[in-house]
Amino acid sequence: MNVINRRIYSAVREYQNKYPILAITGPRQSGKTTLLRTLFPDYRYVSLENPDNRDFALKDPNGFLNEYDDQVVFDEVQQAPAIFSYLQTIVDNRSDKMGGFILSGSQNFHLMERITQSLAGRVAIFKLLPLDIKELEASDLLADDPFSQLIHGFYPAMYDRKISSSVFYPNYVQTYVNRDITELMVVKDLRQFQNFLGLCATRAGQLLNLSALANEAGITQPTAKSWLSALESSYITFQLYPFHKNFSKRVVKTPKLYFYDTGLLCHLLKITKRETLLTHPVKGALFENMIVAEFFKQMHHSYQNQSPWFWRDNHGNEVDLLLDQGLSLDIYEIKASKTVLTENFKSLAKFESISTIPIYSKGLVNAGSLNQKRSYGNVISWKDFPEFS
């Protein structure tokens, strides 16, 4: 079994002594259990998915927390919402005790709802997403070719247990995605939801037209919005919102849809071979999805807070990723090509010419392996973006 050192470990260690409660959230199979057992080997581990544990916590929260009162991990803690208010009282009564409770869950909506209601200010919250490129590279597991990597995907189980993506993803959808969605809401027709999920995959890296998505899926727009929210809460998809500060009404204000894992995305699109992807119309969108998702993964794994956006006007000029640094902006174009052309920097130059906020850095992220500094901006290899310390 390959031992992959997750970059988030150091941040969790640091804040263990600064907050009475730590919360680890992220999609199923992202490595949360491994993290918990690695970083907290002396803590008691209690899974609230176990019916006996869950029944104890729900029916007798006082007795449950008298039994598990310190140095304990509560996994899938959203299954027992009754204990959150009791935890608040416990940690408030022993304000000098740090890191006594570790909470973990894979449904972000329910977990964050409980934390917001009862534990605000008492919890350090971490997001463990699928493996990032730097983690794979450090473990000598990263593919040499970006398109092979994005098809294979980033979930740790495939690397730990040497499971092929063709086996992993069908099981993942059936075992986890469908299960989480049906726990979050009532889905009368699971086949219709699966069709909706596939239609979301066809829109990865594109502007999200919720009305058109609902019509094609044969559902109402409120249902489409609800299902999409459930996918986001289960860490399957996320949205990137447009930057429109100090711009006119001619700027697009519709978000773009992305998947956290491109292996799952390729599975849904039935793309299993690199040769197929290289000539596929979605090649550029999938490469963009991988790079944008990589930014989010590394941001959370480094426990940093950035403000990522994209920008697009109604003439089609677009900046794929924009980072608002407050007094300046970093802007990036993403191209699924190894060839660097001057015209690739055209949209970045256009944006810089009309922005009232100074541009600190311009970059072109591509599928090549070289990093170069050019007068138009920096050329950045897919393996080296972004750079978080």
Is the model's pLDDT at 250 over the cut of 90?
A: no
Q: What is the mean pLDDT of the segment spanning 211-216?
A: 97
Left if phi > 0, otherwise alpha if psi is -120 to 50, otherwise beta: which for 324?
beta
Q: Is pLDDT of 124 > 60?
A: yes
160-169 pLDDT per residue, tens: 999 999 999 9
Q: Which residue matches tokens 């997403």?
A: 129
Q: Are 30 and 152 in contact (CB under 8 A)?
A: no
Tally Cβ neighbours within 10 Å of residue 120. 9
Do residues 36 and 73 touch, judged by C-beta distance below 8 A?
yes
**Using one digit for the tens of pLDDT, what is the confidence trace for 147-202?**
999 999 999 999 999 999 999 999 999 887 777 777 767 777 888 889 999 999 99
Q: Where are the chain's structural domains?
A: 8-127, 131-389
Burial 350-381 (b: 16+ CB within 10 A, else e): bbbeebebebeebbbbbbbeeeeeeebbebbb
Following DSSP, what letter does each residue of 306-374 receive, concatenated? Answer: --EEEEEBTTS-EEEEEEE-SSSEEEEEEES-S---GGGGHHHHHHHHH-SS-EEEEEEEESSS--EEE
* pLDDT tens readout for residues 17-54: 999 999 999 998 999 999 999 999 999 999 999 999 99
pTM of the model as a whole: 0.94
The CATH number assigned to the domain with range 8-127 reads 3.40.50.300
Dist CA 301 CA 298 (whole Å): 5
